[in-house]
Amino acid sequence: MGGAYSASSGLAVSQKTDAWKPNPKDTRSDGSIKGEGWLGPLKRLDNPNDVSSEISIGTNWGTGEKEIPSLVPGLTQAEQNYLLSTPSSDIFKTNPNLYNSIQNKAIEFAKQREKQGLPFFK
């Protein structure tokens, strides 16, 4: 596993990187260009040459399908590590309990932003 290792927690620690900048190839499903995200661009733990900044997920909390970021403030280090070390096609099934915790935090963050009339993405 890539990334820095924290002896105190026994977990790999995601590292911010300044190497990634938004470009026209980094788009969301609606075609909008991805930004640097709420936590900044983070090196992937499964491939340190790759970076993730948002890891968008689709969700519906009663007002229609929405695309929201899953890398949001309030995630634990273990939750960040899970997102940064698990292929996007597997995040729903590799550890459903951990993913549900991440999804719930992402939804709450998005609901707060929506209530304030602010965008979900940074």
Condensed to tens digits (0 to 9), the pLDDT of residues 28-67 reads 888 888 888 999 999 999 988 888 999 999 999 887 889 9
Measured between alpha carbons, how far is 101 from 32 in angstroms, rounded to an integer?
A: 27
Q: Cα angle at 71 between 63 and 45, to 5 degrees?
A: 145
Measured between alpha carbons, how far is 102 from 110 in angstroms, rounded to an integer?
A: 12
Label residue 59 exposed, middle or buried (CB < 10 Å: 0-12, 13-18, 19+): middle
Tell whether 122 is covered by a domain: no
Tell whether 65 is covered by a domain: yes
pTM (2 d.p.): 0.81
Q: How many structural domains compose the chain?
A: 1
Tell whether 62 is covered by a domain: yes
pLDDT digits 0-9 by tens, 100-112: 999 999 999 999 9
**Domain containing 98: what range?**
4-115
